[in-house]
Structure 1
Amino acid sequence: MTAGLVFATWAKPDSESGSLFTLIYSLKWYLAAVCLIMTVIFSFRTMDKGERTTWLDETWHYAKLIIPLLFIGVFAAGFLLGRPGHEGVIPSSIIESLVGGNSFSSVLTASVIGALMYFATLTEIPILQGLMGAGMGKGPALALLLSGPALSLPSMLVIRSVIGTKKTLVYICLVIIMSVCAGMIYGKF
């Protein structure tokens, strides 16, 4: 199932990419279909009818829960950050000054902002696409993507009540440091 999602979302490679990536891109829908067929065959071989029904019911329930949040994230990102060629409520110049490029300060800023923000499931991707379209660098984007789901202000408060202030501060610092390191490495390559 995961391989099917990977193939279905395979982006068009740059002209610099190798021929393997171009080949996968040209065959992505066939590969995704093969993965879907394999998933169906696997489900019939390993699950009885009740398990398959439960699996499909849970999948449908999860889709109904997630899709509205995804649309809200897409519309919020479009409204706040604009669309290609058009400014949003937040000007691109502000985004570029805070998290543009791949400097240490940009990556650190993105990591701290991500740690304080709350991202609903699947909304971080459209928000990140909007930020990158407005001038955010690749390193800060990864730092935000790593620190955002790992932390939020509400989760910090809950974690503090369970493990105490010192351990919570260590956890927060570790998340920020690790996301900054990953963002710096990714931004350099």
Structure 2
Amino acid sequence: MITGAVVLILALLFPKWPLLPFSAGIAGVVWVTKTSSDETKSWIDSTWTYALMIAPLLLGGVVVAGFLLGMPGTDNGIIPSRWIAALVGGNGFLANLFASIVGAFMYFATLTEVPIVQGLLGSGMGQGPALSLLLAGPALSLPSMIVIRTILGTKKTAVFIVYVVLLSTFAGMLYGWIIE
């Protein structure tokens, strides 16, 4: 109850700083749950541990995206924006297919694909190819393909790869078509 009142007061006093009441609300929820049952304390501790594990990966993804792509709309990164726009701009079949294939063979650490795709979107990537990359990326990677091949064999692995790439491609095309 007190947390809600504090958040409301901060939101009314500082309407241009929405992060302030949001942060106060999070801090209030953490404080309330930290002082309650052992199960809730365990949950908060686990959440904090996972947040500390994921934060460096997310920060690393942002740094890599910044170096490779630079600022959105500029060509000051290692990879020029015009290359990205030429390969995965728009919502055509080839742009979605290319994004799906690249996503299938890349290895993304947990949550690093989000800042990388955000940088690609800012550099001219289409919405459909972005979804294709985000769908194919977590489903496959070169290391996972190798492991799957040792378990299922070459033919079944090839079929799985083709399914992931094609379904990601068509989902990206459909999404891009709906967004336009």
Pairwise TM-score range, normalised by the shorter structure = 0.7 to 0.9
TM-score by length of 1: 0.75
Letter matched to residue 50 of structure 1: D
Matched, 1:84 2:78: no
Letter matched to residue 42 of structure 2: T
Q: What displacement does 1:177 show?
A: 1.2
Q: What displacement does 1:96 show?
A: 1.0
1:108-187 matches, cutoff 5 A: 108-187=97-176
Q: What displacement does 1:49 show?
A: 2.2
Deviation readout 1:116-165 (Å, 9 max, x if unpaired) = 00011111110001101111001100000000011000010011111211
Match of 2:57 among 69, 88, 93: 69
Match of 1:59 among 39, 42, 47: 47
Decide which structure has the larger Cα Rg and report it: 2
Runs of 4+, deviation exceeding 6 Å: none
Matched, 1:103 2:89: no
Q: What displacement does 1:86 show?
A: 3.0
Task: Give the paired residue count.
Answer: 159
Gaps of 5+ in 1: 1-27
Q: Percent identity?
A: 58
Letter matched to residue 61 of structure 2: G
Q: What displacement does 1:51 show?
A: 1.4
TM-score by length of 2: 0.78
- RMSD across aligned positions (CA): 2.7
Letter matched to residue 58 of structure 2: L
